[in-house]
Structure 1
Amino acid sequence: MIPGIGDLQRIPGTQRLLPEPGRPEAAMGEAFAEMVTRLASTTITRLETAEAVSLQGLKGEADTREVVDAVLSAEQSLQAAIAIRDKIVTAYLEISRMAI
């Protein structure tokens, strides 16, 4: 037995996948929408930051490493957002093909 396993706490900033007792399932849809909105906002912020740091690098005001880190972070966020969007579209298409 793993010591302390009964004392596991929910990790801050994470969402439950299953509805909590007494919580309507509609609220879970809102939580998903909030998560997607937060993802989009984070991606946009990282893209804007990468653009600003890149411009600073062109002016000689930012180190090359800072520029590379910002651009790679933005690229990673954008790829994750695109992958999630693709999964959502695929799920929608699968649902739309279901026979009623």
Structure 2
Amino acid sequence: MTAGGEAATLRVIGELHLARRELADAERFLRASLRLWDELELALPRARVLRDLARLAALRGHDDAGRLAREALRVFEDHGARERAELAAELAGGRSPVL
């Protein structure tokens, strides 16, 4: 498996744990994915992990949820990514970026 494949797989596993509200496991897998995307210097998949980490932070009531979501949104906007509209609407509506 390539590093990109591993990073994508780790993110999907993290998302699964996040959907199940298994927050510690979600964080472990998402952070591992983020480290790999950082090494690969791929901004868009990294931003998708940041969005997931923002959702995790929001579920935990952490203040950095908004910061993480805004960072992800900037990348989505720069790349014209499909996720930008949904995340922008969440942030504009004052809603936390939660599943």
Q: Answer whether TM exceeds 0.5 for this pair.
A: no
TM-score, normalised via structure 2 length: 0.36
TM-score, normalised via structure 1 length: 0.36
- Bigger-Rg structure (1/2): 1
